[in-house]
Amino acid sequence: MTDFKEIDRQYAYNGFLGAEYSQTGTVFRVWSPLADSVKLKLYSKGNGGTDFFEGKMTKLPSGVWEYEAQGDLNGVYYTYAVKIGDRESETIDIYARSAGVNGERGMVLPCEENSDRPIEFKHKTDAVIYELHVRDFSADESAGFANRGKFRAFTEKNVRTIHGDKAGLDYIAELGVTHIHLLPVADFASVDEERISPEYNWGYDPLNYNVPEGSYSTDPFDGFVRVREFKELVKAVHRKGMGVIMDVVYNHTFHTADSPFSKLFPHYYYRHFGDKYSDGSACGNEFASERKMAGKFILDSLCFLASEYKLDGFRFDLMGLLDTDTMLRCAEALKKINPHIVLYGEGWTAAETPLPAEMRSVKSNAGRLKSYSMFSDDFRDGVKGSVFIDDDCGYINGRAEEKREMIKSAPAGGVYHHEVKREKEKCWAQSPEQSVNYTEAHDNLTFYDKLKVSMPHADSEKLKAVHKLGGALVFLSQGVPFIQAGQEFMRSKNGVHDSYKSPDSVNSLKWNLISENRDVLEYYRGLTAIRKAYPDFRMKTADEIRSKIHFYDLEKGGIKAEIGAFTLIINPSDEPVTVQTDGRAAVYADSKKASAEPLYTIESTVTAEASSVMLFKPV
């Protein structure tokens, strides 16, 4: 195996890679220090046919191969033919900015002036994040989209459900969402873009990181279209006052030995156990971010995407496989581009990795990664039970006494609090801004499906009550609230786990559920309004939380939490719980409704109904 540390010492390169365009000529640069030769091939189309030009590239001392092609090449497609030993492979440029159908050939594309701007956003705890798959958004016929499954569906106005309710982007804006988190929209390999009705995939199968996915465009054969339509999506969201967070998958690639990275430099971009590829992603390989040119690729890619598309944040898939030094460099560079950028990810790995524990971007290293938030699987599983065991229960669905201390930690934003009986080392968040609180995401069962299977004897009203209780814990806890699209109207995927390639019938948003579960939707909307109206639920530091939040145990696993000026009663039991108050108080949330304006007043006692909260403050 090649000594990659020595390669980094000899050949690490800090300059521009890719196709540097001007109207009079384009300079192509690609890093492949062990290649014997590299040829540039130009094509008039993104697929099919033969090249109309082939040029021998020149090797520089840095291991970069360079060729300057004369004339205006805007929109021309290109590849590199890389010869290493007795093998010559043709590959797309890993730095390509757009591509033809199925991402086989890069396209020369100038960076253009873009008047769009990211939203201004100061504190992560002010965020309300809404996770959404592009195709799920518009695929179902329960709403009248014209561009089903496409980027352009986000630009459609006045979309209505079959019952006449608002749908689409107009609907999301009225929820009080601050950021839409899009599941991967960079070019992925698992969907054939040439098919009129492509097969479904979440998109965690990356091929070309800087190229928008062609199956979401109206013309995947034209590299200009996918870029233009994704920019239109981002602008449409910005016009509604919301930000766009891009889900990025730098921890692995779909292909391994025959990936574009391997064709340029076999093995360099991947980690190994001995002479075999390691698989900490459980997807066949893991990207060696700690190597200089692999880390540079991630940094360059993120900065390009943030600048070119005016993105408001990034969510990192299996962030634990990315080394902390690279992540710190990325955060520093991204904040120069957008001081308000939101960064978070999965603070774990999927399997064993050779990356040393102290270098992993995991929850236990959160103290080093203060610019990054991480998903709180403690919160998720504490509230509803393990995602890996269908009938396992958490605090709200059957194990209240056992999980009470864990749930006290939720309103405390996951930081260490002396009134919570939880080991200090398990309180991994250094501040509430680091804890992303959720009960549902794209993977595993939806929250509704989990409740249904773990509470087999519960009727529909009981399920609604527990669903509202879970929502209250997400929005009234310190930290960053996160929901999957449709959670607010009790989205179901028919009990399917990890529906990454299930059909639209399983994955699509069923917009008719707005009318069927309007009471749950309005409850979630009210919780969002409370959170946005009162900074008591958006504290910024661990010290503020420890001084302003206090806990008291109630019967049957219940909790009384004093949160700034508010008191929150959490009752997970099947019976009402009555608590004395300190006089007259205004109620903002009960078992039925939640509102930023007082619902009614109480005098000396408050009763939290079964599986509900009561939120009130003195008047």
The string of pLDDT tens digits covering residues 580-613 is: 998 999 999 999 999 999 999 999 999 999 999 9
Backbone angles phi, psi at 373, to 5 degrees: -95, 160
HEC sequence for 470-523: HHHHHHHCCCEEEEECCHHHCCCCCCCCCCCCCCHHHHCCCCCHHHHCHHHHHH
* Helix (H/G/I), strand (E/B), else coil: 264: helix
Residue 498 has φ and ψ, to the nearest 5°, of 40, 65
Name the average pLDDT for the chain. 97
User: Shortest CA distance to 590 belongs to which of 395, 226, 577, 96?
Assistant: 577
Q: What is the pLDDT of residue 196?
A: 80
Tokens of 2: 């090649």
* Nearest CA among 99, 109, 111, 106 for reference residue 221: 99
pLDDT value of position 464: 98
Sheet holding 58-59, edge to edge: 18-22, 25-31, 64-70, 58-59
User: At 198, is the secondary structure helix, strand, or coil?
Assistant: coil
Question: Rounded to an integer, what distance in angstroms lies between the CA atom of residue 483 and that of residue 438?
Answer: 6
Q: Determine the 3-state secondary structure of 597 from DSSP.
A: coil
Q: Is 354 left (phi over 0), alpha (psi -120 to 50) or beta?
A: alpha
Whether 445 contacts 592, CB under 8 Å: no
Q: What is the signed CA dihedral for 209, 210, 212, 214, rounded to 10 degrees?
A: -70
Q: What distance in Å separates the CA atoms of residue 187 and residue 102, rounded to the nearest whole number?
A: 8
SS3 content of the chain, % helix, strand, coil (to 5): 30, 25, 45
Residue 313: per-residue pLDDT: 98
In angstroms, how far is CA 254 from the centroid of its own chain?
18
411 neighbors 538 (Cβ within 8 angstroms) = no
Name the packing angle between helices 292-309 and 324-337 (round to 10°). 20
Distance CA 179, CA 338 (A): 15
Which residue type, as a one-letter code, is found at position 467? H
Q: Which residues pair with 81 in a beta bridge?
A: 39, 90
Please compute, for residue 106, the number of CA atoms within 13 A of its CA located in the half-sphere on the CB side. Answer: 28
- Cα 534 → chain centroid: 26
The parts of the chain modelled with pLDDT lower than 50 are none
Return the CA Rg of the chain: 26
**Amino acid code (one letter) for 75:** G
**pLDDT at position 251:** 98
What is the Cα–Cα distance from 442 to 11, expressed in whole angstroms?
41
Tokens representing 576 are 């009402």
Return the half-sphere exposure (C-beta side, CA atoms, 13 A cut-off) of residue 319: 27
Query: Which residues form the catalytic set?
Result: 317, 346
Q: What is the pLDDT of residues 159-177, one digit of tens each?
A: 999 999 999 999 999 999 9
- 257's CB contacts (< 8 A; 6+ apart) are 266
Nearest in space to 587 (alpha carbons), one of 552, 551, 559, 613: 613
Other Cβ atoms closer than 10 A to 485: 22
